[in-house]
Amino acid sequence: MQLDVFSSRPLLGNPLAVIIDAEGLDTPTMQAIARWTNLSETTFLLPPSSSAADYRVRIFTPKQELPFAGHPSVGSAYVAIEAGLVSAAKTSLIQECAAGLLPVRVAGEGASRTIHVQAPAARLHPLDTAMINALAGALGVELGAQQASLVDNGPQWILADLGDALTVRALMPDLSAIARLCEELSAVGVSVFGRSHEAGIAMAMRAFCPADGIAEDPVTGSANAAIAAFLLDSGGLATFGNPYRVSQGREVGRDGYVDVAVNAFDSTITVGGSCALSLIGQLTL
């Protein structure tokens, strides 16, 4: 199946290809399929190896396998339900992936169904002055030490708080410089964000992943979870509220929306939203 994640309407959000019956495919074949679909991610549904899990998923970009990614996790859970791999009556699932066992919450049903996945625990790493200067140069902005960080929640993201949504939306970064920086820090991409003043939208966000073959990712679950971890650590969460909604993808014609929540008791972070199923087919190899 192919679907659009973080959108209730087809042809928006972030497209995802999900191979439902992936048993028997080896890793090189999975990578070749992900390269062929040429989407930011392709996932493969497999029987769980843990008795605690409802299903297992492997996640690939066109160039590499990821331990966790947000929109593939949301979309894979949606497809697991649509394909009958798990009961549509269940409201709580456990996804097994390379990052471990992750809780998934299902709300609503049918076209109104939303999926919310708990991101892996994040580790924050400060950037030194040279890296902050390199990031500022790649983005074409000025950055202070408190505005940037490297966050690892499965993939590694370089984050930059640009303050305001207008700055985020107008940004024209040097993608070659971003690719070099990501390669140096072993990061999947650079994500920038700022406060939005639109009704119902707390944040505007963009994610650039040129080193991974994706100039700008349409809508990004793991990066949004990484931003929430950064805000929680820095005390900036109150600026956006909790939970809050993120707008991402307008600059590439996708207009997706991600709902982010931080649990007040254990600081776990969930990202979620709608999905729109757009294609059902059979892959012949």
**What's the sign of the alpha-carbon dihedral 191, 195, 197, 200?**
positive
- Which of helix, strand or coil describes residue 228? helix
What is the CB-side half-sphere exposure of residue 50 using CA atoms within 13 A?
A: 15
User: What is the DSSP pairing of strand 214-217 with strand 269-279?
Assistant: unpaired
Q: SS3 string of 150-173?
A: EEECCCEEEEEEEEEHHHHHHCCC
CA dihedral (18, 20, 21, 26) in degrees, to 10, reads 20
**What's the sign of the alpha-carbon dihedral 97, 100, 101, 106?**
negative
Other Cβ atoms less than 10 A from the Cβ of 65: the count is 14
Question: Do residues 227 and 192 make contact, with C-beta atoms less than 8 angstroms apart?
Answer: no
Which of these is catalytic: 23, 41, 65, 216? 41
Other Cβ atoms less than 10 A from the Cβ of 19: the count is 23
What is the CB-side half-sphere exposure of residue 23 using CA atoms within 13 A?
A: 7
Q: Where are the alpha helices (DSSP H) in 54-174?
A: 70-82, 129-139, 165-170
d(CA 197, CA 168): 13
d(CA 155, CA 145): 22
Residue 84 is given by DSSP the state T
Does residue 198 carry a catalytic annotation?
A: no
> Catalytic positions, please?
41
